[in-house]
Each structure stands twice: as C-alpha cells, then as structure tokens.
Amino acid sequence: MLLYPLNRFRLALLFVGVCLSSCVNDLDEIEKVTFNEKTPNEVIQDLDVIYLDSGKAKIEVISKITEIERNQESITKLKDKVQVNFYSSKGEIVSVLTALYGEINFTKGEMFVQDSVKLYNIKKKQSLETERLDWRQKDSLIYTTSKVTVKTPEAILYGTGIKTKQDFTYYQFLKPKGKIDLKKSNLKLDE
C-alpha cells in the first residue's frame, strides 16, 4: 500500500506521541528503584574544616573521604585517613589525633576513631597508640577500654583503658601494666 504524504505525516506524529508518552517518569517510582537508605546524603573528598569558638580555632578535622548522613541523628563518617588537630586557647596545635576511620555524631556531640589510632602531644613529645578512642565534646574527654601503649621520652607504658583530655597533657590508665625505671626517668613522685 502506498502512503500519501499526509498519511506519512500522521504516522510520524503518532510514532512521536507514543514515544513521548512512554518516556514519562513518575519521580516516586524512580525513587523506589534508585533510593538506598544506606547511601549518604553528601560525599566530600579532601575535607579540611576548622571549628571556631569566639573566633579562635578549637578543632580542625581533616579527612580523605567524608560521608554525611542526616537521618534521626547527624552522622559524619571519616574514611581513608583521619586527622584531628586540637588547638590551645592561644591558637596553637597542642595535640594531633590520627586514625584510618572515624565517626562524628553531631547530635550527641561525640566522636570515635578506630584502626591505627595515634594521639600525639607536641610539647611533651608523647604518643598514645590504640585501636579505638572515643571523644566527648562537652568535657573534652578522650577515652578507651582497649589496649593502649603510651610512649614518652622517658618510658613506654602499657595498659588496658585510658582517660585523658584532648590536649593529652595528662592521662590515667584504667588497668596499667609494665615497669618503669625511676632512676633513668625524670618522673617526680609526690612526697
């Protein structure tokens, strides 16, 4: 059958109409197929953010990969290398916390880091090594119940569990282990 030009035009319009009507997408249907509750709301590479109080730096968070989730609680996951710099009231970095993974719960004002965790006090040249540390914003307390190694210029100390402030100027072992040679040490005993 030979089509006249007018019939070809109608056939072309019908074809375009069918194609266009079949391309209508319902956004609710798309979300059902593509939405995953475990997917973060935001992903940031090479994050470097400084938290200020009264115009002075208090904490700096550096992370290779950052995922932000906003559900019932605001959770920020820090992945593939984490560094937290704690500042003094004079704006100087006093201690540095590093790990391979961390999570900040902004709703509770808490953070934990894990995997190859190190806390270093710059002035005292002392370091703490463990597999997990927790931090509370309200009182600047850093603590763990895991095995801990503290290295100072005078000694290497071991224990299970520790409490310290974020500046790591002093610390308290929950269950200390090991020996200290007081003759070689500059440690002073209270009289």
- Cα dist. 72→75, 92, 105, 108 in Å? 9, 35, 11, 11
Which residues, in sequence order, are CB contacts of 155 under 8 Å at separation 6+?
180, 181, 185, 187
At residue 2, φ and ψ (nearest 5 deg) are -95, 125
**Domains (range + CATH), the chain:** 39-139 (2.60.450.10)
Please state, in angstroms and rounded to a whole number, the distance separating the CA atoms of residues 135 and 153.
25
Amino acid at 169: T
pLDDT tens string, the chain, 191 residues long: the values are 444 555 666 666 666 666 665 555 666 665 555 555 666 678 889 999 999 888 888 999 999 999 998 777 889 999 999 999 999 999 999 999 999 999 999 889 999 999 999 999 999 999 999 999 999 999 999 999 999 999 999 889 999 999 999 999 999 999 998 666 655 555 555 54
Q: Quick one: pLDDT at residue 10?
A: 67
Q: Quick one: pLDDT at residue 186?
A: 54
pLDDT, one tens digit per residue, over 62-76 is 999 999 987 778 899
